[in-house]
Chains A and B, each alone.
Chain A
């Protein structure tokens, strides 16, 4: 049972990574390009299966380019910014329920953080 849950979670995580790669790209990507963009050691067929599954869920759309399909994020997987911001800027609700990746930075922390970032990029 735990194995099933793990597999489902990994599948969901991979689907999100593929969606993120497509969102970051400037145009449609072929499965080979997605694989390169993911930067992990994955089998081509795994990426292919994930793209097919996302397509059947309506999260990505595809168009034939030569012999392969090229994929882009479907409209359903993106949200118009204005509509979204209106909900988000609505009072205290945002701070109370949403789990943000990072908090507001204390201005005093900015140079420290910049230094840490510069150092880690050197190595």
Chain B
């Protein structure tokens, strides 16, 4: 238990370190699913460990000890976790619970805003809605069946094949529910901040996933690369300076990834990487085993404490 409690943290740190490389090397659909799954599992393991560690301290409070029918001082003597470590876990756990609550609130508000936006947009699920303004912009709204929004100017500045690429990219986001993967990964990163690079990796991999579907739809990778390069350059030329002026509030949470996507599209389609997948799965299996061991050891600890406490407090001794 003494060592097992560090494993979820170690896993999170390793995932955080390797997430950027994994999101670039794995085929994007595999990468999105694997990174999201790893983030969620590691976040759950982290909260479990923090809760166990904190409880070895909370359990020493007289009220809690009385409720649990054990003696606080016996627990203090028997626990392998130093009080300082348990206190740190308690504080960290409380802080992370707060930040997770905040992240959930922001997400819930955003989903409500997206739903309202979808209702205003009209049209039917999956339909393209055109904005009449001077921005160059296209995005998918994943609510109420989903809508694809594109500015008229963007559509006018692209040749037909590139227009098709943009539409295919955005409908891929809707069809494969990419917002749910991102949501899960970002909440996991709120639970365990070491997983933040993993959430960014999920964002990048899901963009790449949509790019690959667009490439398959138009039948040419370079068309998608050109559409991406052209729209981002045109958009920057038009609004770049204005946008930079108010950057802090609208800074993309992912950082710039457009160039990396263009470069990936100019290379051949990614091949399956079984070795990498197995490596990540092995790491997750180790985390699960460690969590199992922690649970087992914790049960033993409390059984032992309760037994000892009963002997100590039994009348006549």
Q: Point out residues on A near B: beta carbons under 8 Å.
A: 9, 12-13, 15-17, 19-21, 23-24, 37-40, 57, 59, 73, 76-85, 87-88, 90-106, 109-110, 112-114, 116-117, 120-121
Task: Enumerate 29 A-B pairs (CB-CB under 8 Å) in ascending A order.
Answer: A13-B171, A15-B127, A16-B148, A17-B163, A21-B163, A38-B160, A39-B159, A39-B160, A77-B123, A77-B128, A78-B129, A81-B132, A83-B120, A87-B116, A87-B120, A94-B250, A96-B107, A98-B140, A99-B139, A99-B173, A99-B178, A99-B179, A102-B228, A102-B231, A103-B257, A104-B250, A109-B256, A109-B259, A116-B263
CB distance B106 to A92 under 8 Å?
A: yes
Q: Is B152 an interface residue (CB 8 A)?
A: yes
Chain A hits for B138, CB < 8 A: 100-101
Chain B hits for A106, CB < 8 A: 255-256, 259
CB of A8, distance to nearest CB on chain B (Å): 9
Please judge, given known A-B contacts A105-B233, A114-B233, whether A79 and B126 are in contact too, CB under 8 Å.
Answer: no
Number of A-B contacts (CB under 8 A): 201
Q: Identify the closest chain B residue to A36 (Cβ).
A: B160
Within 8 A of A (CB), among B106-155: 106-107, 109-111, 113-114, 116-117, 120-124, 126-135, 137-143, 148-150, 152, 155
Chain B hits for A85, CB < 8 A: 133, 135
CB distance B150 to A99 under 8 Å?
A: no
Q: Identify the closest chain A residue to B250 (Cβ).
A: A95
Distance between Cα atoms of A93 and B107 in the complex (Å): 8
Distance between Cα atoms of A96 and B108 in the complex (Å): 10
Chain A hits for B253, CB < 8 A: 95-96
CB of A120, distance to nearest CB on chain B (Å): 5
CB distance A40 to B226 under 8 Å?
A: no
CB of B94, distance to nearest CB on chain A (Å): 24
What are the 8 tightest A-B residue pairs by CB atom distance, in nearest-first order?
Answer: A81-B133, A39-B160, A106-B256, A16-B128, A102-B232, A96-B110, A101-B138, A99-B173
Chain B hits for A37, CB < 8 A: 160
Chain B interface size range: 35 or more
Chain B at the A interface: SS class:
helix
CB distance A16 to B161 under 8 Å?
A: no
Distance between Cα atoms of A23 and B156 in the complex (Å): 7
CB distance A110 to B233 under 8 Å?
A: yes
Please judge, given known A-B contacts A13-B217, A24-B156, A103-B256, whether A87 and B117 are in contact too, CB under 8 Å.
Answer: yes
CB distance B251 to A79 under 8 Å?
A: no
Please judge, given known A-B contacts A95-B253, A113-B233, whether A76 and B122 are in contact too, CB under 8 Å.
Answer: yes
Chain A hits for B155, CB < 8 A: 20, 23-24
Interface mask (B157-170 → A, CB under 8 Å = 1, otherwise 0): 01111011011111
CB of B32, distance to nearest CB on chain A (Å): 13
Chain B hits for A101, CB < 8 A: 137-139, 166, 169-170, 228, 231
CB distance A117 to B121 under 8 Å?
A: no
Q: Is B273 an interface residue (CB 8 A)?
A: no
Q: Is B317 an interface residue (CB 8 A)?
A: no
